[in-house]
């Protein structure tokens, strides 16, 4: 129980950037902070190292992993390839009326979430929900159990989740800083849905791949900007 609790607590603090990238996590300090012995801390750090959230260096210890632009590109290239394949599969056959209705529902909800020129955090939360529903609908509609299972696992990889949080983070600034990018991304959603409904398989696949490539470039730019500030 103590190991699980310690692992979840440290993981949450890394995800919330309480323990910043490059931070040295030392057993005795964490044990004092969490009010446990060093034994569960040691197990927790080992688990988080296996998850990819920590780097381990002999004689130095554990450090919060610093993401690289290459990792961002790799993650979103993989996701683009998998979801592009899903688009190709479902656009290759006549779309079920329920699929078309679901996609249109997502698009309308996204339009509404991004309509204000002065975004709130609630707008961003609503957009994120719509975005998850839109992409999840496409993956599930492929009917490919291997693709579906692979994407479900991928979306739960802690390193990917951490990168995704950086995408939506406003870091204390106005949510409006995300507005141009989110509107561009949602325009992609409209084009992707149109290609699927019109049964343009290759176009749908290419649009989805480009959609995720653009996301990777945006995240990389934000990472580079934060490092220079």
Residue 30, pLDDT score: 92
Averaged over 209-226, what is the pLDDT? 85
∠ CA(207), CA(98), CA(185), 5° rounding? 30
Residue 11 has pLDDT above 70, yes or no: yes
Averaged over 50-72, what is the pLDDT? 86
Instruction: Express each pLDDT in 109-118 by its tens digit.
Output: 999 999 998 8
Q: Average model confidence (pLDDT) for the chain?
A: 89
Alpha carbon distance 114, 120 (integer Å): 10
Phi-psi region of 59 (alpha: psi -120 to 50; beta: other; left: phi over 0): left
Q: Do the Cβ atoms of 44 and 56 come closer than 8 Å? A: no
Instruction: Pick 221 or 100 by higher pLDDT.
Output: 100
Is the overall model pTM greater than 0.85, yes or no? no
Averaged over 163-189, what is the pLDDT? 81
As annotated, the residues of the chain forming the CATH 1.10.10.10 domain(s) are 2-64
CATH of domain 2-64: 1.10.10.10
What confidence tier does 1 reach under pLDDT thresholds 50, 70, 90? low
What confidence tier does 165 reach under pLDDT thresholds 50, 70, 90? confident
CATH architecture of the domain with residue range 69-228:
Up-down Bundle (1.20)
* Close Cβ partners of 131 (under 8 Å, ≥ 6 residues apart): 110, 185, 189
> Which of 15-19, 24-28, 41-45, 129-133 shows the lowest mean pLDDT across its residues?
15-19
Instruction: Pick 49 or 228 by higher pLDDT.
Output: 49
DSSP, collapsed to helix, strand or coil, labels residue 173 as coil
Residue 226 has pLDDT above 70, yes or no: no
As annotated, the residues of the chain forming the CATH 1.20.120.530 domain(s) are 69-228
Q: Which residue's structure tokens are 């381990």?
A: 56
Instruction: Express each pLDDT in 66-79 by its tens digit.
Output: 778 888 889 999 99
What confidence tier does 225 reach under pLDDT thresholds 50, 70, 90? low
């Amino acid at each position: 129980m103590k190991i699980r609790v310690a692992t979840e607590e440290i993981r949450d603090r890394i995800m919330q950037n309480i323990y910043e990238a490059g931070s040295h996590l030392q057993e005795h300090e964490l044990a004092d902070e969490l009010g446990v012995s060093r034994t569960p801390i040691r197990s927790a750090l080992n688990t988080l190292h296996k998850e990819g959230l920590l780097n381990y260096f002999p004689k130095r210890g554990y450090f919060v992993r610093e993401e690289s632009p290459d990792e961002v590109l790799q993650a979103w290239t993989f996701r683009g390839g998998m979801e592009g394949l899903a688009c190709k599969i479902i656009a290759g056959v006549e779309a079920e009326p329920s699929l078309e209705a679901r996609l249109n529902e997502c698009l309308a909800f996204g339009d509404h979430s991004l309509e204000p020129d002065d975004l709130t955090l609630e707008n961003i939360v609503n957009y994120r929900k719509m975005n998850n529903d839109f992409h999840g609908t496409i993956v599930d509609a492929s009917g490919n159990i291997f693709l579906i299972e692979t994407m479900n696992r991928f979306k739960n990889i802690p390193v990917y989740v951490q990168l995704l949080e950086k995408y939506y983070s406003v870091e204390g600034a106005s949510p409006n800083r995300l507005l141009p990018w989110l509107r561009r991304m949602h325009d992609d959603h409209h084009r992707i849905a149109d290609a699927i409904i019109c049964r343009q398989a290759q176009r749908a696949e290419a649009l989805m791949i480009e959609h995720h490539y653009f996301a990777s470039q945006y995240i990389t730019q934000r990472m580079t900007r934060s490092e220079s500030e």
